[in-house]
Chains A and B, each alone.
Chain A
């Protein structure tokens, strides 16, 4: 059972706060701006942290319409993603969950012919405004993919450091070492790989590779972490490990997770958005968005009830 891990719940709290890399201007400090309808999360929730835990940022989607060429994939999605919460996107295949997710960090436009209408604001800033560099957006909004995809040419260490090494800034080796260790600890992978940091990441098991990808994503300290079915390629034990990790990571990041797994959404998320599609070729829509308990116990829409109770799809 390569994915079994000795959990050390104290990992997160031994992180030396002072070694955190400098943030992009306006990316850190202060309480999150009042984008959220929700009361601001209590950032001091991490008890052992010497200072206030870093806060993620909220994201607001406003009348978002997404297209692949002539195909209207997603219609009129408006929602507020609250900072430092886990938001789950659920819905049947092809209903546009992943497309919406990819629009949040401007990955959607990488597909030839893809178009975006409407706005996505990160902490009040429109990420689709003219003059906004998608590279800068993606620095603040990281992503973990369905298939673990560590860089095959790089060692485990270099994989985690990739975002920093390939970015604009040059960090001294000692600082890089600390960030790599902290990120791997944050992804619950440190104990399993600390003796083979110079080995290739492709030698790890699937679950370990996915945690390596999470470590890689959090190493650049994004504000928001998007996860596109991060556990769907993993066995149940590795899946649980990822879910535990997600719950823990929300102290530092805003997390959006796409999942086909109802239990996972119910277990790991604070808010749930249900997407649906009326028929083949029709655009996907946001049907209902609410607190996870409400979605799973007493949803307002019949379609949501049908879906979460497994009556269709």
Chain B
């Protein structure tokens, strides 16, 4: 540090202490908590006001000490971080509520017994867990090959207006309301089996209608990431196009495709409406998708909540436990996807 270079712009200016922002937060939090506790103001409004006050305070303080640029930087950082916290809040709230209420009946009986002849407390959701796994499994078995191949066609082979139209239709299908998918599958099978037939496989078809476009899009996106240079390298070795796709392109995109499939599974595993129409409601175990009605976890939760007995609490507890189980299954699937990603993932440069 030279002392005689006074005319040069100073590099080191004033700096807020590292605890400054947290101190402002704490200072804003204290009156906010007091307000929520003592008045009947809406907590959301209080929190929003506190954040706004904190931003203003940090900006003013920082501007006085550090100058305008750093002040703006700090203010924007706080706004962005707050937005993130805001987005996270419902998620944390949902998780904690489901955990808190679902653990009440998250016991061995819940996983081993069905709801057959259960009135009041007791019983379980083994039939619904089995049904969810079977229906989702069949839907995945149907959707993944179709979706992957459709995605390959769209990205590797599709050309011109046909491709544009199909891409548009896939986009439209991504936004299809799930109840419409359920009605479609119901109507489709009603043609062959007559009305009023409810089977696990009909539900699986309904879920496939929802799942296929998601898989197609994610496969397409993943194939886009595979560098063209790898395809060219393979062509230049005299490898035919289809083998290039099977042996070079797909393995390179595999990790992403698996992740995409997992996202699609997570998306359909919680579907209630189409299954209510297509697989019906049943209290006993049925693992055969081609015979008889089949229960699933979302439908189980729905019916428990909708048709409670004289004492409602055991039913509501079972509904929460079913919700918790569903979240746990999705989490396990995600963990499995991560393991796959670690195991087979490749860095594409």
Interface residues, chain A, with chain B CB atoms under 8 Å away: 105, 107, 110, 112, 134-140, 142-143, 145, 147, 149-154, 162-163, 165-167, 200, 202, 213, 216-217, 220, 226
Known contacts A153-B251, A153-B346, A202-B349: does B237 contact A163 (CB below 8 Å)? yes
Cβ-defined partner of A202 (8 Å) among B227, B244, B347? B347
Summed over the interface, the residue pairs from A and B with CB atoms below 8 Å come to a total of 86
Contacting pair A135 B239 (CB below 8 A): yes
Query: Dominant SS at the A interface?
Result: mixed
Q: How far is the CA of A167 from the CA of B240 in the complex (A)?
A: 8
Interface residues on B, range: 20 to 34
Closest to B231 in A: A110
Cβ-defined partner of B230 (8 Å) among A110, A149, A226? A149
Residues on the A chain within 8 Å of B230, using CB: 149, 151-152
Contacting pair A162 B347 (CB below 8 A): no
Known contacts A152-B347, A153-B252, A153-B346: does B232 contact A216 (CB below 8 Å)? no
Q: How far is the CA of A150 from the CA of B252 in the complex (A)?
A: 11
Query: Dominant SS at the B interface?
Result: helix
**B236 at the A/B interface (Cβ < 8 Å)?**
yes
Contacting pair B236 A105 (CB below 8 A): yes
Closest 7 CB pairs of A and B: A139-B238, A163-B237, A143-B236, A153-B251, A149-B229, A166-B239, A138-B238
Q: How far is the CB of A163 from chain B (nearest CB, A)?
A: 4
Residues on the B chain within 8 Å of A138, using CB: 235-238
**B159 at the A/B interface (Cβ < 8 Å)?**
yes
Interface residues, chain B, with chain A CB atoms under 8 Å away: 159, 227, 229-230, 232-240, 243-244, 247-248, 251-252, 254, 346-349
Can you name 28 A-B residue pairings with CB atoms under 8 Å?
A107-B235, A107-B236, A110-B232, A110-B235, A134-B235, A135-B238, A138-B237, A140-B238, A142-B238, A143-B233, A145-B229, A145-B232, A145-B236, A149-B227, A151-B233, A152-B346, A152-B347, A152-B348, A153-B251, A153-B254, A165-B247, A166-B234, A166-B237, A166-B239, A166-B248, A213-B233, A217-B237, A220-B237
Residues on the B chain within 8 Å of A202, using CB: 346-347, 349
Q: How far is the CB of A226 from chain B (nearest CB, A)?
A: 8
Q: How far is the CB of A257 from chain B (nearest CB, A)?
A: 15
Residues on the B chain within 8 Å of A134, using CB: 235
